[in-house]
Chain A
Amino acid sequence: MNNRIKHLREQSLNAINCISPERALLMTEFYKSDEAQMVSTPVKRALSFKHFFANKKICINPNELIVGERGPAPKACPTYPEICIHSLGDLQILNEREKVSFKVDEETFKIYEESIIPFWTGKTNRDKLIGNMTPEWLNAYEAGIFTEFQEQRAPGHTVLGKKMFQRGFLDVKQDIVKAIETLDFLNDNEAYDKQEELKAMAIVCDGIIHFAERHADELENLAKAESNSERKVELEEMAKVCRRVPAHAPETMHEALQHYWFIHLGVISELNPWDSFNPGRLDQHLLPFYEKEVKTGKLAEESMYELLHAFWIKFNNHPAPPKMGVTAKESNTYTDFCLINVGGLKEDGSDAVNEMSYVILNVIEEMRLLQPSSMVQLSKKNPDRFIKRALRIVKTGFGQPSIFNTDAVIQEMLRQGKSIEDARNGGCSGCVETGAFGTENYSLSGYFNLAKILEVTMNNGVDPRKGKQIGLQTGELSSFNSYEELFAAWQKQVQHFANIKLRGNNVIERLYATYLPVPFLSVLVDDCISKGRDYNAGGARYNTSYVQGVGLGSLSDMLASIKYNVFDKEKVSLDDLKKAMDANFNGYDQLRSDLIYKTPKYGNDDDYADDLAIDIFETFYEAVNGRPTAKGGVFRINMLPTTCHVYFGNIMAATPDGRLAEMPLSEGISPYQGADTKGPTAVVKSAAKIDHLRTGGTLLNQKFSPQFMEDEAGITQVMNLVRSYFRMDGHHIQFNVVNADTLRDAQKNPESYKDLIVRVAGYSDYFNDLGEDLQNEIIRRNEHTEF
């Protein structure tokens, strides 16, 4: 990277995360206006969008090439009072907490106290949401049976397709106008609703174009005042770019990147949708520009890299909006889960790896930034050179890129009823979620604590932590005479809690559809325009709502322990085991040692435990998959935890596998930390026993010490390991390449490891930003060191 980029990168790394009241103030101002009271909800949302982009501060940082910030400065993060409000206490915590803090200045405190909080109290979507949930839902939620994604952040979970790299907002506006003209008010009883939604879409197109024009104005002003002639020319050129995009389709690499960036800002400012937003298959989208400009020599390769580096830094300037509430333990991170896809297959099914794929891999390696995160899609049709190149980056140990099985991902989508072209144009985003890019709303709805449900089952429906009856009365522990009886009781409880969760989701989906439509996101995702329907109301071509199962490995070990030690070997009675668990194994060292060291565990290619993982998976699948959502879509499952396995473990007592109270659960479909002792082939074989193709994503984390990829032969064997896992339809694998001593040292001397990025679970994070328990867990994760 050149000096300018080095400087911009430093600036981004050193920028302090803080809360900006700008957006909250502009929203309050607009919501109070007369105009806001007169119009339909979609139009109101569109006008608020326009108001925000017409009035927010234009931020152009010194020496920048790609411009535009969500806040008034890098890492100045807005809040979204339509969704939820941060109390003064919340702001205090954000300001003072050690990890993932956001600074709040005096002025901001004052603004929240005097303007934001008084106006929005009782009016937020979160108020509506909680108010609409049943007592059963609230009990299960508080007990930690499941979480709710849409409680503090809007549904998003989607990725841009190729359409917007080929069209400008003036082009799509014509589609919108046409759609309005063809509305049939005589025969279509939804015609008015569609008209309002389409009007809203047209307004946001104007809004984002205006925002770019404001940048152009500012850039021209800066150019006039600039004394450095080189920079002057550059500023004039940047102004021209902002005059052209996003109004028109981009024609150059620079325009394409700036075009996307305005779109990105539009999506993450309209609301705070989950998983930020994402350009998706970036190597595919940029190839035409590469061929047109770089191959012909019009754009020097150096300049292309400079633009891409500058683009990368913009992502890093935008932390995930912080949560409210003191106990927001789940998913606490600056990362906003933007996952750039490289490789895979083209729409016609041929190998999609191209020159741009390698260029992007170079950028990932050189930038070493937390955001954007990156992944490679690996198909059996992709060359070894591609995956080896990716593994050489993995080896450097900052957790990127993760590796996905394109062929499995496509089959997952075909099974869900997508066209083969849409499936091939898709990929994965967030942590590991499968989706059709540009055509699908695939929202995560919440984590589902499969292990906690066993705890509740073993307590006859009572949550032992709170002593509250939250589940069904499936029988006292002493009444179970066989493993099968106990398992059947667990199955009943899963069904029970899944029903509660899905009922809640269907209400929440309607709340967003009714009160918080997203006309801007709707413009971007097909077929919202042609249907005249909002993204949040089922406008996308495909609509999937996921429930994410957590604790597969841990629960398999818990069940295996009961089956093996209580019923098969009769080493301990169920009651005595429960007594030991209730005592947190205090005074039961011998028993605990047997549970840990002499009991079959998931992750060792041992059918005894792995078969139970399959049973768990199938039960969860049956409880969720295929049921209808309020958007006219379908509920499906995936198996990923983000960091929720820490929270879910934290609210649980000691368990039959020998795990102590409050310790984290296993993450994704990975074995419990340290339970796998037969090496990586055994791990991936265990993991491949569940049917990945019937999920929308699974997460497998494999920690390697660096020696494993030391030489070419090592890289080749890791590649073969990955290819083998993918032959068994494994969905995803990621490698944490770092040794435990390094991590321990980092824990002791965080100041020396400010740049240490580790793979957490489906994403990477700064080691220093992780809580101590999560740090310890990462250290413990089994290291497959060579002999």
Chain B
Amino acid sequence: MRAIVFDIKRYAVHDGPGIRTSIFFKGCPLRCVWCHNPESYKAGIESICRSNRMGNVDVADETEIGKTYSLGELISEIENDQLFFDESGGGVTFSGGEPLMHIDFLEAILKACKEREIHTALDTTAYAPKDKIDRIINHVDLFLFDLKHMIDKDHISHTGVSNKSILENLKYLADKGREIIIRFPMIPDFNDSEENINLMLDFLNQLPKKPAFHILPYHRTGQDKFRRFGIENSMPDIPSMKEEDTEWVQNLFRESGYKVNVGG
């Protein structure tokens, strides 16, 4: 069993508690227009040309996005930093792309992590049938749950998929008492309307326990990647969102009793 991973980021300090290693699986069912990892869209390994700079000289070089890992290989990458996890209360975060697309591999590696006393977080769009969630629910210590839009029509138009199963899965995880951090990518003119924010608050208020609420203000990093990797880009060329533009949302959620954080 192998999975394609497009990046392994060590000393990741914004993807859950402590010092973490974030594993980015390749392949995603969503096509969020603001995506900052568009190279993760496709599931297969892709070849690109890049240039290696040495002073004023550039040397063209063929390189691949994505590398396949066996379970053993990936576990050993994760174990490299176990000491840092222990010291900091950190662990591993599976991200992507969408890790649930690799459900067999994901289930196996989550189990392997738990056997090794490694804290696990899953950064997910939760766009998946419930039976997939059931397979991993007991091996994930923390869900980093991406919540993008409450109005289905807008969700479909900007991500390509419906939010129906996403919201069902959120309620399901909350009902099961799982630890959840909501990650809200705040994108200008897409999901930052008062209407959407209030709908989100109403939905979260109905959950048995209030999850933590993290706002990720829109960042332009994706723009350059679309260009670099030659991927069609429908995101308008707008500046990154400033932290102060998120203040009203922060205040609204804080007043409603949520633990709010900006920037993950």
Q: Is B9 an interface residue (CB 8 A)?
A: yes
Q: Is A723 an interface residue (CB 8 A)?
A: yes
Q: Identify the stretch in B81-89, B122-130, B198-206 within 8 Å (CB) of chain A at 4 or more residues.
A: B81-89
Q: Is A596 an interface residue (CB 8 A)?
A: yes
- Choose among A589, A724, A727 the residue that contacts B59 (Cβ–Cβ < 8 A): A589
In chain A between 702 and 754, which residues have their CB closer than 8 angstroms to a CB of chain B? 713-714, 716-717, 720-721, 723-724, 727-728
Q: Please tell me if the beta carbons of A597 and B61 are within 8 angstroms of each other in the complex.
A: yes
Q: Identify the stretch in A233-241, A547-555, A673-681 within 8 Å (CB) of chain B at 4 or more residues.
A: A673-681
Q: Is A682 an interface residue (CB 8 A)?
A: yes
- Choose among B54, B59, B84 the residue that contacts A681 (Cβ–Cβ < 8 A): B84
In chain A between 684 and 718, which residues have their CB closer than 8 angstroms to a CB of chain B? 685, 713-714, 716-717
Identify the interface centre among A590, A658, A720: most chain B CB within 10 Å of its CB: A720
Given contacts A593-B61, A679-B11, A786-B14, whether A720 and B221 have CB atoms under 8 Å apart is no
CB distance from B50 to the nearest CB of A (A): 9
Q: Please tell me if the beta carbons of B54 and A717 are within 8 angstroms of each other in the complex.
A: no
Q: Report the 10 A-B pairs with minimum CB-CB distance, sorted nearest first.
A: A720-B88, A593-B59, A679-B11, A724-B87, A679-B10, A717-B13, A593-B52, A724-B84, A681-B11, A681-B10
Q: Please tell me if the beta carbons of B52 and A787 are within 8 angstroms of each other in the complex.
A: no
Q: Which residues of A contact B13 (CB under 8 A)?
A: 713-714, 717, 786
In chain B between 79 and 102, which residues have their CB closer than 8 angstroms to a CB of chain A? 80-81, 83-84, 87-88, 90
Further 9 A-B residue pairs, CB within 8 A, beyond A679-B9, A679-B11, A680-B11: A593-B52, A596-B54, A681-B19, A681-B80, A681-B84, A682-B80, A717-B19, A717-B88, A721-B88
Q: Is A605 an interface residue (CB 8 A)?
A: yes
**Interface residues in B, total, Cβ within 8 A:** 20
Q: Please tell me if the beta carbons of B19 and A721 are within 8 angstroms of each other in the complex.
A: yes
Given contacts A590-B59, A596-B52, A727-B87, whether A787 and B10 have CB atoms under 8 Å apart is no
Q: Which residues of A contact B52 (CB under 8 A)?
A: 593, 596-597
Q: Please tell me if the beta carbons of A720 and B9 are within 8 angstroms of each other in the complex.
A: no
* Cα A262 to Cα B83 with chains together (Å): 47
Q: Is B57 an interface residue (CB 8 A)?
A: yes
Q: Is A592 an interface residue (CB 8 A)?
A: yes
* Cα A723 to Cα B90 with chains together (Å): 14
Residue of A with least CB distance to B83: A724
B contact face: mostly helix, strand, loop, or mixed: mixed
Q: Is A128 an interface residue (CB 8 A)?
A: no
* Cα A597 to Cα B18 with chains together (Å): 31
In chain A between 580 and 599, which residues have their CB closer than 8 angstroms to a CB of chain B? 589-590, 592-593, 596-597
Q: Is A784 an interface residue (CB 8 A)?
A: yes
Residue of A with least CB distance to B263: A711
CB distance from A490 to the nearest CB of B (A): 27
* Cα A723 to Cα B221 with chains together (Å): 32
Identify the interface centre among B11, B61, B83, B221: most chain A CB within 10 Å of its CB: B11
Q: Which residues of B contact A679 (CB under 8 A)?
A: 9-11
CB distance from A583 to the nearest CB of B (A): 14
Q: Please tell me if the beta carbons of B80 and A717 are within 8 angstroms of each other in the complex.
A: no
* Cα A720 to Cα B10 with chains together (Å): 14
Residue of B with least CB distance to A723: B87
* Cα A415 to Cα B160 with chains together (Å): 65
Q: Which residues of B contact A714 (CB under 8 A)?
A: 13
Q: Please tell me if the beta carbons of A685 and B54 are within 8 angstroms of each other in the complex.
A: no
Q: Which residues of B contact A593 (CB under 8 A)?
A: 52, 54, 59, 61
* Cα A174 to Cα B87 with chains together (Å): 52
Q: Please tell me if the beta carbons of B83 and A721 are within 8 angstroms of each other in the complex.
A: no
Q: Which residues of B contact A682 (CB under 8 A)?
A: 10, 80
Provide the A600-616 mask, 1 if CB < 8 A to any CB of B, else 0: 00000100000000000
Residue of A with least CB distance to B80: A605
In chain B between 1 and 39, which residues have their CB closer than 8 angstroms to a CB of chain A? 9-11, 13-14, 18-19
Q: Which residues of B contact A589 (CB under 8 A)?
A: 54, 57, 59
* Cα A679 to Cα B84 with chains together (Å): 13
List residues of B whose CB falls within 8 A of some A CB: 9-11, 13-14, 18-19, 52, 54, 57, 59, 61, 80-81, 83-84, 87-88, 90, 221
- Choose among B14, B59, B87 the residue that contacts A720 (Cβ–Cβ < 8 A): B87
Residue of A with least CB distance to B90: A720
Q: Which residues of B contact A678 (CB under 8 A)?
A: 10
* Cα A681 to Cα B21 with chains together (Å): 10
* Cα A589 to Cα B221 with chains together (Å): 30
Q: Which residues of A contact B221 (CB under 8 A)?
A: 787
* Cα A658 to Cα B59 with chains together (Å): 14
Q: Which residues of A contact B90 (CB under 8 A)?
A: 720
* Cα A589 to Cα B13 with chains together (Å): 37
Q: Which residues of B contact A592 (CB under 8 A)?
A: 54, 59
Q: Which residues of B contact A784 (CB under 8 A)?
A: 11
CB distance from B48 to the nearest CB of A (A): 14
Q: Which residues of A contact B80 (CB under 8 A)?
A: 605, 681-682, 685
Residue of A with least CB distance to B89: A720
Q: Which residues of A contact B61 (CB under 8 A)?
A: 593, 597
Identify the interface centre among A593, A596, A713: most chain B CB within 10 Å of its CB: A593
List, sorted by A's number, 17 A–B pairs whose CB atoms are closer than 8 Å: A589-B54, A589-B57, A597-B52, A679-B10, A681-B10, A681-B81, A685-B80, A717-B11, A717-B13, A717-B19, A717-B88, A720-B87, A721-B19, A721-B88, A724-B83, A728-B83, A786-B13
Provide the A657-682 mask, 1 if CB < 8 A to any CB of B, else 0: 01000000000000000000011111
Provide the A750-787 mask, 1 if CB < 8 A to any CB of B, else 0: 00000000000000000000000000000000001011
* Cα A208 to Cα B44 with chains together (Å): 78
Residue of A with least CB distance to B88: A720
Residue of B with least CB distance to A605: B80
* Cα A445 to Cα B168 with chains together (Å): 71
Q: Which residues of B contact A787 (CB under 8 A)?
A: 9, 221
Residue of A with least CB distance to B17: A713
Q: Please tell me if the beta carbons of A720 and B19 are within 8 angstroms of each other in the complex.
A: yes
- Choose among A596, A680, A720 the residue that contacts B18 (Cβ–Cβ < 8 A): A720
Q: Which residues of B contact A724 (CB under 8 A)?
A: 19, 83-84, 87-88
Q: Which residues of B contact A721 (CB under 8 A)?
A: 11, 19, 84, 88
* Cα A679 to Cα B11 with chains together (Å): 6
Q: Which residues of B contact A681 (CB under 8 A)?
A: 10-11, 19, 80-81, 84
Residue of B with least CB distance to A708: B13
Q: Which residues of A contact B54 (CB under 8 A)?
A: 589, 592-593, 596, 658
* Cα A720 to Cα B20 with chains together (Å): 11
* Cα A787 to Cα B80 with chains together (Å): 21
* Cα A294 to Cα B118 with chains together (Å): 49
CB distance from B131 to the nearest CB of A (A): 33
* Cα A787 to Cα B14 with chains together (Å): 10
Q: Which residues of A contact B14 (CB under 8 A)?
A: 786
Q: Which residues of B contact A597 (CB under 8 A)?
A: 52, 61
Q: Which residues of B contact A596 (CB under 8 A)?
A: 52, 54
* Cα A679 to Cα B80 with chains together (Å): 13
Q: Which residues of B contact A658 (CB under 8 A)?
A: 54
* Cα A304 to Cα B221 with chains together (Å): 51
CB distance from A310 to the nearest CB of B (A): 40
Provide the A223-253 mask, 1 if CB < 8 A to any CB of B, else 0: 0000000000000000000000000000000
Residue of A with least CB distance to B57: A589
* Cα A551 to Cα B161 with chains together (Å): 55
Q: Which residues of A contact B18 (CB under 8 A)?
A: 717, 720
Q: Which residues of A contact B9 (CB under 8 A)?
A: 679, 787
Identify the interface centre among A596, A680, A717, A727: most chain B CB within 10 Å of its CB: A717
* Cα A721 to Cα B221 with chains together (Å): 27
CB distance from A388 to the nearest CB of B (A): 13
Q: Which residues of B contact A728 (CB under 8 A)?
A: 83
CB distance from B82 to the nearest CB of A (A): 10
Q: Please tell me if the beta carbons of A727 and B83 are within 8 angstroms of each other in the complex.
A: yes
* Cα A724 to Cα B19 with chains together (Å): 10
CB distance from B96 to the nearest CB of A (A): 15
Q: Which residues of B contact A723 (CB under 8 A)?
A: 87
CB distance from A94 to the nearest CB of B (A): 34
* Cα A175 to Cα B10 with chains together (Å): 59
Residue of B with least CB distance to A660: B55
